Amino acid sequence: MISLPRRLAAPEPGWTTETDVVIVGSGIAGLTTALHIARHSQLRITLVTKDILAAGSTPWAQGGIAAALGAGDSPEEHFTDTIVAGAGVCDEAAVRVLVREGPAAVRELAQIGARFDRAGDGSLSLTREGGHHRDRIAHAGGDATGAEVERALVTRVLDATDVEVIEHALVLDLLTTPAGEVAGLTLHVMGEGARDGVGAVHARAVVLATGGIGQVYASSTNPSVSTGDGVAAALRAGAVVRDLEFVQFHPTVTWLGARSRGQQPLVSEAVRGEGAFLVDDSGTRFMQGVHELADLAPRDVVAKAIVRRMRERDEENMWLDARAFGEEKWRVRFPTILASLRGHGIDPVRELIPVVPACHFASGGVRTDLSGETSLPGLFACGETACTGVHGANRLASNSLLEGLVFGHRIADAIVRRLGDPQAPPVPGAPVATGPLLDDALRPRLQQLMSEHVGVLREAKGLAAAAEGLADLVAAADGQADLVAAADGPSAPSAAPAPATENWEATNLLTVASALVLAAQRREETRGSHWREDFPDRDDNAWRGHLNITLDESGSPLSTFERDFSGPITPLKGGKR
Ligand SMILES: Cc1cc2nc3c(=O)[nH]c(=O)nc-3n(C[C@H](O)[C@H](O)[C@H](O)COP(=O)(O)OP(=O)(O)OC[C@H]3O[C@@H](n4cnc5c(N)ncnc54)[C@H](O)[C@@H]3O)c2cc1C
């Protein structure tokens, strides 16, 4: 049994401040929550973010936001597509909330200033992506939806007088009362003056909106800030984390060679939505006959088909053919992707685009209810950090921006209702002991283990190798093995890693990876984005439910299976399929 830290090693807080609500993260989830609390209450809001405001995944989103906004579309049809993509483990009540409240939330986003692309008659211009049976993806700037949404929300939040924004503030751990309620957090601010270094924010509610976990893998579409800090902090504080094994690998990430590491350029599904298709090295369209939606099948289906074909043909990548668009369509509809591809020496107007699947989205996260509250009173989670249950085993394209938007509103409503007027926050209890940090020099080793053994294809032997490799990293953090010296050749034993940003992040990655591998080992079936080669079938009798992960007192990850599906999938009233 491995032992992960229950608190990150860090200097004791040198300063303390008080607020009503502290929100961690400045993507669509954090900004929406902050804005709506500010609009509907007098509560004091502190929004902290570890880099500049626009550093998360949100500004990278290309395709758009899904909602039943088009003529002839309905929340019922969006519900059915979401449930089908989720492969039997979506929380149906959460999906109902998403699809019913989605259209109004997107319209409101447009009202507060997000400039979505529009048709000649002024109506929203809608496109289609994998798994959707309707054109229902609203987009902006062609393929720059996330950047426009982030711009609009940041502008409004900076205008809101009750929101204090602290950039370059890395949240470390949650604070709790002796009764187990959340009472604030500790953070490290790279600032100047009174708020520099490690401090504490005492608060009556905390919202974790720290985004995804993509940096757990060697290559991902996620930016460098996506190190799973919120999931790791929630685990350390005792919260339940759910569905972590369901990591979505985006099928069409630009292949830049076997040595390329870190954030990789995405080619949005909307490119296939507009008519591009996949071919192998012989020019064969291999998605035809695999699924009724062919190149627009749900992401797990396309990613698996690509990996299968790569194996059959012994190739390192497959190809996307979008040459039929011509220069003009590429320039108007996908200017960002065009610039990115040309920047890497690929001209999609004349050439095939080399693609492979890469880690893209965490369907699981910190378990929440329909108000976004976690298993710890006063702790909320929103956006990619949360597991609301809307994605099940596989997220439907463009449902994640929508999730941050819809549940950001709900969390704001719950907090405003619960907290009422500004008041003094509770006093945190004595903190638990700290644990050792992982040296950031070992991050590439962790990422390599995860990419090699816990990627699109998984099986018991590889998962055991990953678990063993992670246990070695835990031992290295404990000082029982010197893997850094071993990696660099003979040298003197290295000192314990300093409490610093990169080592805190590496330790968070180790915590998240350990929980993810445990869940992937336990789920002995193939479902959605979790593909076990040794258990190739979906097994509803044994596995239709969720794997919950917690850390015990000593920091060992524990898994519990929660079966909560007894009947068939129920369509929304009036559902057509
Ligand atoms: C390339 C790409 C394309 C995508 N395209 C689409 C799309 O078209 N449609 C769609 O619906 N989804 C898309 N997604 C997914 C979607 O963008 C994300 O799921 C969504 O933006 C997540 O929003 P968020 O607010 O939860 O997190 P993020 O936007 O990632 O924000 C997280 C925030 O938390 C901060 N943070 C992290 N850790 C800490 C810490 N310890 N302390 C303080 N702050 C911290 C970060 O700096 C950041 O500000 C895409 C993702 C990527 C990467």
- Of 375, 376, 405, 412, whose CA–CA distance to 390 is shortest? 405
Question: 27: Cβ below 6 Å to ligand 1?
Answer: yes
Question: 270: Cβ below 6 Å to ligand 1?
Answer: no
The model's pLDDT over 364-377, given as tens digits with 9 standing for 90+, comes to 999 999 999 999 99
Question: 209: Cβ below 6 Å to ligand 1?
Answer: yes
The model's pLDDT over 373-424, given as tens digits with 9 standing for 90+, comes to 999 999 999 999 999 999 999 999 999 999 999 999 999 999 999 999 999 9
Cα–Cα distance between 129 and 396 in angstroms, integer? 9
What's the chain's Rg over C-alpha atoms? 23
Give Cβ neighbours of residue 88 (< 8 Å, ≥ 6 apart). 392, 393, 527, 538, 540, 544, 565, 569
Question: 138: Cβ below 6 Å to ligand 1?
Answer: no
Closest Cα to atom 5 of ligand 1: 61
Please report which confidence band the pLDDT of residue 488 belongs to, taking 50, 70 and 90 as the band edges: low
The arithmetic mean of pLDDT across residues 167-173, rounded, is 97
Cα–Cα distance between 377 and 145 in angstroms, integer? 34
pLDDT of residue 57: 98
Question: 280: Cβ below 6 Å to ligand 1?
Answer: no
pTM: 0.94
Question: 426: Cβ below 6 Å to ligand 1?
Answer: no
Query: Phi-psi bin for 392: left (phi > 0), alpha (psi -120 to 50), beta?
Result: left
Question: 228: Cβ below 6 Å to ligand 1?
Answer: no
Closest Cα to atom 26 of ligand 1: 383
Closest Cα to atom 35 of ligand 1: 25
Question: 32: Cβ below 6 Å to ligand 1?
Answer: no
Angle (deg, nearest 10), helices 92-111 and 145-159: 70
Question: 203: Cβ below 6 Å to ligand 1?
Answer: no
Please report which confidence band the pLDDT of residue 571 belongs to, taking 50, 70 and 90 as the band edges: very low
Cα–Cα distance between 142 and 93 in angstroms, integer? 33
Closest Cα to atom 10 of ligand 1: 398
Cα–Cα distance between 305 and 255 in angstroms, integer? 16
pLDDT exceeds cutoff 70 at 575: no
Cα 540 to middle of ligand 1, angstroms: 32
pLDDT exceeds cutoff 80 at 203: yes
Please report which confidence band the pLDDT of residue 451 belongs to, taking 50, 70 and 90 as the band edges: very high
pLDDT of residue 486: 64
The atom of ligand 1 lying closest to the CA of 169 is: 43
pLDDT exceeds cutoff 50 at 491: no
pLDDT exceeds cutoff 70 at 75: yes
Active site (annotated) includes residue 107: no
- Of 245, 225, 242, whose CA–CA distance to 508 is shortest? 225
Do 182 and 206 contact (CB within 8 A), yes or no? yes
Question: 57: Cβ below 6 Å to ligand 1?
Answer: yes
The atom of ligand 1 lying closest to the CA of 222 is: 53
C-alpha distance from residue 549 to each of 231, 365, 369, 431, 572 (Å) = 11, 10, 16, 22, 31
Question: 384: Cβ below 6 Å to ligand 1?
Answer: yes
pLDDT of residue 490: 46
Mutating to test ligand 1, I would choose from 151, 210, 396, 409 the residue with most ligand atoms within 8 A of its C-beta, which is 210
pLDDT of residue 81: 95
The arithmetic mean of pLDDT across residues 505-513, rounded, is 98
Work out the mean pLDDT of the chain and round it to a whole number: 93
Closest Cα to atom 33 of ligand 1: 25
Looking only at the bridges linking them, the beta strands covering 386-387 and 365-367 are parallel
In the chain, pLDDT over 70 holds for what percent of residues? 95
Cα–Cα distance between 226 and 240 in angstroms, integer? 20
Please report which confidence band the pLDDT of residue 184 belongs to, taking 50, 70 and 90 as the band edges: very high
The atom of ligand 1 lying closest to the CA of 220 is: 53
pLDDT of residue 574: 39
The arithmetic mean of pLDDT across residues 264-271, rounded, is 91
Least confident interval from 100-104, 298-302, 484-488? 484-488
Closest Cα to atom 25 of ligand 1: 27
Cα–Cα distance between 284 and 559 in angstroms, integer? 43
Q: Dihedral through CA 505, CA 510, CA 516, CA 521, nearest 10? A: 170
CB-count burial class (<10 Å; 0-12, 13-18, 19+) for 53: buried
The arithmetic mean of pLDDT across residues 38-61, rounded, is 96
The arithmetic mean of pLDDT across residues 120-137, rounded, is 92
pLDDT exceeds cutoff 90 at 484: no
The arithmetic mean of pLDDT across residues 14-35, rounded, is 98
pLDDT exceeds cutoff 50 at 573: no
Q: Which two tokens stand for residue 113?
A: 């200033």
Cα 219 to middle of ligand 1, angstroms: 16
Mutating to test ligand 1, I would choose from 23, 46, 58 the residue with most ligand atoms within 8 A of its C-beta, which is 58
Cα–Cα distance between 320 and 356 in angstroms, integer? 10
pLDDT of residue 391: 97
Cα–Cα distance between 424 and 204 in angstroms, integer? 8
Cα 235 to middle of ligand 1, angstroms: 20
Cα 3 to middle of ligand 1, angstroms: 29
Catalytic residue among 151, 204, 242, 299: 299
The arithmetic mean of pLDDT across residues 321-349, rounded, is 96
The atom of ligand 1 lying closest to the CA of 210 is: 34
pLDDT of residue 565: 61
Mutating to test ligand 1, I would choose from 267, 400, 409 the residue with most ligand atoms within 8 A of its C-beta, which is 400
Please report which confidence band the pLDDT of residue 487 belongs to, taking 50, 70 and 90 as the band edges: low
Least confident interval from 152-166, 314-328, 492-506? 492-506
The atom of ligand 1 lying closest to the CA of 269 is: 8
The atom of ligand 1 lying closest to the CA of 66 is: 11
pLDDT of residue 459: 97
